[in-house]
Amino acid sequence: AYIGSTNRRQCSRTRCELLSVCRMARTGRVVLVTGANSGVGLALCERLLSDDAQLQLCLACRNEQKAAAARQSLLISHPKAHVSLIRLDVGSMRSVLRAAEEIRQRYNRLDYLYLNAGIMPSPQVDLRAFYKGLFSGKAIHMFSTGEGLLTQKDSVTADGLQQVFATNLFGHFLLVRELEPLLCQPGHSSQVIWTSSSNARRSTFSLDDLQHKQGVEPYSSSKYASDLLSLALNRHYNSQGLYSSVICPGLVMTNLTYGILPSFIWTLIMPIMWLIRIFTNTFTLTPYNGAEALFWLFKQKPESLDPMVKYHSLTSGLGNNYTRTRKMEIDDTTSAALYENLLEMEKMVRKKLKDGDVEHAK
């Protein structure tokens, strides 16, 4: 379903006016974005500040220098903006707990929590699968999802978790749990927005191997898990005013994709990608375009959102951005089972961290 466009049409004027009235009534909204120092996250911050100068924007990043540079660049275009920094390594559970404590001290509510930080370590492209895919009649599907083309090499974190799982999913889950008091406030609704992917695939995920220790597609598995988890969060927290959604930014040129192919190769094949964009619309290519669905959700009433769909940033052949929904291949039973498993894992991680503190104090 076509649901939005930045190239505004006449018919959407009334809706826009209504939205801006709502916006004025709620100034000073608090927005936290993880992985905000580059790529899609940073482009989102730019777009949010251009839309609402009153925002209290918090960039949650693991690298202080990169975060300070991102803040500086935002302040150059928006000198009066309220932009603060928080140190957060979502792959480290101790860092998540520390950052959450700091956030709870700084703010008394949170309106938007963008769970955007993500990694794809040591990606390998399967060239044979690529050539096969080109002539298989499924080329467009292959280009829009990357299905079957990529494998990654995962590692284990200091917490004993698989790095991709910890970063893309579990650290964010713990963050939501820790920020529950700010997100769930009586008479007030909040949005949690996950940057998922079209690469999320059911077949790469297993409840028996949540962390994807056994496979070679931890990225796809972690993104599918985020789709499931978003549904579970809706089931648990909608009654307390928290609404969760997932988006896909499309294929965007960022540090993540420069890890797949070097940036000069991407530059060389850019004309081919513009051509492919005519057929898929998923080649958003720039971080600004990729942030379209994240920005679109910022402007929606959370109660109107559908927990079963993914919101896709798309860019047409002529370069127009819009957001479109696609039904996800998820179900309540698997989603609830994942949620229960994550709660169990959370208990274990908390205990381990506490025991570690006691041991350290001895």
Ligand X SMILES: CC(C)=CCC[C@@H](C)[C@H]1CC[C@H]2C3=C(CC[C@]12C)[C@@]1(C)CCC(=O)C[C@@H]1CC3
Catalytic residues, by residue number, are 219
Question: Which region among 10-18, 48-56, 251-259, 261-269 touches ligand NDP (by CB under 6 A)?
Answer: 251-259
Site membership for ligand NDP, residue 294 (CB under 6 A): no
- Closer CB to ligand X, residue 126 or residue 357? 126
Which residue among 4, 35, 133, 307 contacts ligand NDP (CB under 6 A)?
A: 35
Site membership for ligand NDP, residue 195 (CB under 6 A): yes
User: In this structure, what DSSP letter does residue 166 have?
Assistant: I
Distance of closest approach, residue 134 Cβ to ligand NDP, in angstroms = 20
- Closer CB to ligand X, residue 23 or residue 141? 141
Nearest to 169 by CA among 195, 203, 207: 195
CB under 5 to 8 A by kind: which of ligand X, ligand NDP, none does 260 bind?
ligand X
Q: How far apart are CA 92 and CA 172, in angstroms?
A: 10
Site membership for ligand NDP, residue 164 (CB under 6 A): no
Is 274 strand, coil or helix? Answer: helix
Which residue among 32, 33, 37, 161 contacts ligand NDP (CB under 6 A)?
A: 37
Q: For residue 51, give every residue at least 6 positions away whose Cβ sits within 8 Å of its Cβ, in sequence order, or none.
A: 295, 298, 299
DSSP code string of 48-77: HHHH-TT-EEEEEES-HHHHHHHHHHHHHH
Residues that bind ligand X (CB under 6 A): 125, 130, 143, 145-146, 149-150, 197-199, 251, 257, 260-261, 269, 272-273, 276
Q: For residue 350, give every residue at least 6 positions away whose Cβ sits within 8 Å of its Cβ, in sequence order, or none.
A: none
CB under 5 to 8 A by kind: which of ligand NDP, ligand X, none does 90 bind?
ligand NDP
- Closer CB to ligand X, residue 37 or residue 284? 284
- Closer CB to ligand NDP, residue 74 or residue 256? 256
Distance of closest approach, residue 45 Cβ to ligand X, in angstroms = 20
CB under 5 to 8 A by kind: which of ligand NDP, ligand X, none does 125 bind?
ligand X
Nearest to 150 by CA among 257, 279, 289: 257
Q: How far apart are CA 47 and CA 288, in angstroms?
A: 8
CA distances from 123 to 91, 153, 209 (A): 18, 7, 20
Q: How far apart are CA 232 and CA 336, in angstroms?
A: 6
Q: How far apart are CA 171 and CA 237, in angstroms?
A: 18
Nearest to 45 by CA among 86, 14, 81: 81
Site membership for ligand NDP, residue 256 (CB under 6 A): yes
Q: How far apart are CA 208 and CA 215, in angstroms?
A: 12
CB under 5 to 8 A by kind: which of ligand NDP, ligand X, none does 150 bind?
ligand X
Site membership for ligand NDP, residue 93 (CB under 6 A): no
CB under 5 to 8 A by kind: which of ligand NDP, ligand X, none does 89 bind?
ligand NDP
Q: How many residues bind ligand NDP, per CB under 6 A? A: 30
Which residue among 40, 49, 309, 314 contacts ligand NDP (CB under 6 A)?
A: 40
CB under 5 to 8 A by kind: which of ligand NDP, ligand X, none does 323 bind?
none
Residue ranges with strand state E in 88-212: 112-115, 124-125, 150-151, 190-195
- Closer CB to ligand X, residue 272 or residue 343? 272
